[in-house]
Structure 1
Amino acid sequence: MPDAPKPPLNATTSEFGSRVRARRLELGWSQEKAAIPCGISWTQLGKVERGQRSLRLETIVKIAAGLRIAPGSLLNGLPVPDGGLSER
């Protein structure tokens, strides 16, 4: 019996990945084709799209540049991860 697919890390990574996938599909690119200008491997891009990777800022910027979109378009309005805000 095959292993069940890994779930997204959280709602934030899931939504970010959905946005990356939507933009890639909008461009008509495969993961393999999109990974080249993004400067990451296609397997890493797949994990991003499935919400299974939490990314560094530099990687988010590289992905956005590769997909010819402003980083803010991928980030604006994302759900805040649990424990992400605290009162000071």
Structure 2
Amino acid sequence: MHSKPVSQRFGLMLEAFCRGCGMYLKHLNRQVEAMEKLINLTDILKQEKKDETQKMQMKFLVEQMRRPDYMEALQGFICPLNPVHQLGNL
């Protein structure tokens, strides 16, 4: 992705994919939101909580996962590997 032609080609393919996936685009957006939430949590654990004990890190993780915005993002989205399955609670 560091090369401009490769980046442009990838952007065009991504745009074509998004235009072609129709109703599935909403589900993809939910999956991206869930991934962003999980990435955010891991970054916080790596940077800010690295000096704390594992028990304290788990407590922080559980507290964050119980927040309403995390609960909404991480429940009931379509499985990325097999769209036939809807995932439950994380």
TM-score computed with the length of structure 2 as normaliser? 0.30
- Higher fraction of helix: 2
| Bigger Cα Rg | 2
